[in-house]
A and B are shown apart, each in its own frame.
Chain A
């Protein structure tokens, strides 16, 4: 069967994975924080508009924000809405955004949940609607709204659902813990997703060192009495958990440049998303919490927590015994692709899979850059087969056309080139900047093109109007002229008659003009 053989992708790195330190104790819920800050923008897309007002009482699981093309946001606790205001929201920019601040009442009273009664016989559209209402988004980190991905998948012919459990970034272990603790729920979610998207088979990809997980998932898959669910071990070469790399590892096929896995009839979903789908459909529970790995050498007792969205990072860290004294950097996500936050009052959001506290020894000094010596290591490790050293020069010198031609937009920002670079050039920073700049340029070019068209249309309209007016004027003049001409002719004939009377021979055409002048 296709998919059972493991293939390779270009480049990548073998990294120390540092996952064990956070896998020692079972996952628990931390105590309720005093206040939760739930951002209204947690996905790709625009911010949800709030459905509640300041002072309202909300129940656990009650929708508090909704936005049509994107996913809904729900209250993670029962309590009172204290404020709706701009606050730090765990975004790479560090900019504040609209958040709902809720003070929990401690009763944890749920809204009435509306599960899909019989999912095996429900229509795919009904399942997708339920998933949308429950606010599901990709929990691997990209937080693309799940329902949108599923709707897109339904319009194409999808044969394979890939469940991504290959958590390739070092330190992060939340998916591994979830797969260990809830294998049945993941398999159930996979079956629901498969049914809703009309796929035939399911491949669950896990890393080849997750022995216990393989066992648990295989048993869950076997006991679900559902066929065509295969658990596949993939080699641990970062970034094998990237969507495109995973597709290549599993099938040997490459997703076309600028395309999506659905172009090949495949859809990737994170294992945590699958578990959330199962909860949403069979229990009606909206997405209000997730597994978060709190780890790193700057944390006293690294572990995984089941955290409500809106919980401040500081609260999670306290639940893990606090910081170690030499902590210097706090990263949301993994060490390769995560972004640093300046303060720990940012909240847990749907995208927060890991909270990584690092010491100065763990990280590169921010200022130690040398010129590129063109060693080519970056090209060797690039999983997108790009030439990072060339792209770096192009971005640095503003050669945007060349950067586009060399595939800047295909960069997945995995950080391999950056890590391997002997000159310590912050390549990923440059590429992120370059990609943003190129998007802005495209947008501006579009806007200016539109302005040009509108200006030309207006000019054309004004010209047309002027012409029309001129024509009308000319017509009127002509009409007037024809009137005078008629009178002239009458006058002329009168004159002619008179002159004929005076001088018998005088049929000169100029006489008309003379007559007019008289």
Chain B
């Protein structure tokens, strides 16, 4: 058990350092969600005048999206890093060592979770500076960090599955637009009750990302909303399970090829 823990620890550290040491990977994680937040918070401020809008602070409403975008970048970074390892042959050399298979992926995902906590802390801090108010208080900080880490792991698992399946960084990058569509077609910019276009409202209602966004958002706007939180956690845990199942399937195929 302690050997497995050591293996996971070493690989998690490597996974984190690999991202932290590459400005090209760090830049989108920090820069893009924050610039989009700044632009949307200012550009869509007028939406707070709509009857039924839940807050007067659009930044408190919109900051939730930054955490999801951070998760999407985890997908790309984790997938690209693993695909690079496959392309360079490093993954195959690792697979030939006595390292346990579960440690290969668990190590990566623990690293992703740690990065998820780090990036969530950055978004929270920048949001605070820009005037976002976390209504849930100190306890809410902990929940945001846990939810941020889980979101990063859930998306990271899909990145790993894509990398194992295709073995190509380019293919993993190609997934980004697909996942971004889920953010666009959700309650990311307006609450669901204000989505007036029928078909869009229907899509946002069945899009799980809406519920994940609303879990983060509830902590900022309503404080402790049990319904929003259980739905958000259910979505992120469900996505993690699906992602891990996809990883297990892809891993089996990849190892057979090795």
**Chain B binds chain A:** no
Interface residues of B (CB under 8 A from A): none
Interface residues of A (CB under 8 A from B): none
